[in-house]
Amino acid sequence: MTEAVEQGQKGTRLAWIAGVGASAGLGAALARRFAREGLTVAVTGRSRERLEAIVDEIRKAGGHAVALPGDVTREADLAAIARQLSDTGTLEVAIFNAASATRAPTLELSAEQFEAAWRVTTLGGFLFARAALSPLLAAGRGSLLFTGATASLRGRPPFAAFASAKAGLSSLAQSLAREFGPKNIHVAHVVVDGGIDGERLRTSAPQRVAERGEDGLLNPADIADAYWYLHRQGRSAWSQEIDLRPFNESF
């Protein structure tokens, strides 16, 4: 842990983002956006090397961040991180951005692959929410935000596992919103309805990036702006779900 976190200043405003990987990805864009607003950002993912690179980038820009690696499918990892954050400051916003984008035709999809998608996306969202809700409730306010996808709303091949897991995450977010909204915790689900112009898509499907063109993909920084907007919404007009799509994406 960094020196700033070890100091444990209770006045520190915290944002915790799980599902952070490449610098050119949504998780990193969210970290930069909330750091820009003066929050200390705790980034969680499986690769310490990638997390440290993002933390270094934020610090060089004048922000505050700390790398807290962990596996979202391991309850003990998330509970330990939540305890560290509680000793550091006040958690204002927790964002679950992890997913397992399993892709295979149904008859080639193994039970292990299907379960792995559910574990990261749905079970991980549940475990993250439980870990984050304790410090949010202790503060008496805050935001709990989830990253959804087109698959949250409709399934299609070869994404049966991914769609099932994302639909489950959407239902989880609805349930949590009804339970914890009255306790002043804003729970919202963001449907990212289109491809994100980040490292994953550019690496796995460069032809799609070329086909979609400048207005056919979502810019991670623009998506991050929407999360900040959700976090800052007045509670007289909270959104439980919003959808985002690029200019050239059909409804």
- Is it the case that residue 184 has pLDDT exceeding 60? yes
Model pLDDT, residue 204: 67
CA angle, corner 149, sides to 155 and 229, nearest 5? 150
- Is it the case that residue 80 has pLDDT exceeding 50? yes
Instruction: Give residue limits of the domains in the chain.
Output: 3-244
Per residue in 218-227, pLDDT (tens digit) is 999 999 999 9
Model pLDDT, residue 8: 44
Per residue in 29-69, pLDDT (tens digit) is 999 999 999 999 999 999 999 999 999 999 999 999 999 99
Sequence-separated (6 or more) residues with CB below 8 Å from residue 4: 40, 64, 66
- How high does pLDDT run on average in the chain? 92
CA angle, corner 179, sides to 176 and 180, nearest 5? 80
pTM: 0.92
- pLDDT band with cut points at 50, 70 and 90 for residue 206: confident
Residue found by looking up tokens 């709990």 in the block: 144
Cβ distance 190 to 230 under 8 Å? yes
Instruction: Give the homologous superfamily in CATH for domain 3-244.
Output: NAD(P)-binding Rossmann-like Domain (3.40.50.720)
Model pLDDT, residue 157: 93
Residue 230 or residue 201, greater confidence: 230
Determine the Cα–Cα distance for residues 118 and 138; give it in Å rounded to an integer. 29
The dihedral formed by the CA atoms of 148, 100, 112 and 169, expressed in degrees to the nearest 10: -20
Per residue in 137-167, pLDDT (tens digit) is 999 999 999 999 999 999 999 999 999 999 9
- pLDDT band with cut points at 50, 70 and 90 for residue 7: very low
With a pLDDT cut of 70, the percent of the chain lying above it is: 92
Determine the Cα–Cα distance for residues 118 and 101; give it in Å rounded to an integer. 10
Per residue in 83-109, pLDDT (tens digit) is 999 999 999 999 999 998 888 999 999
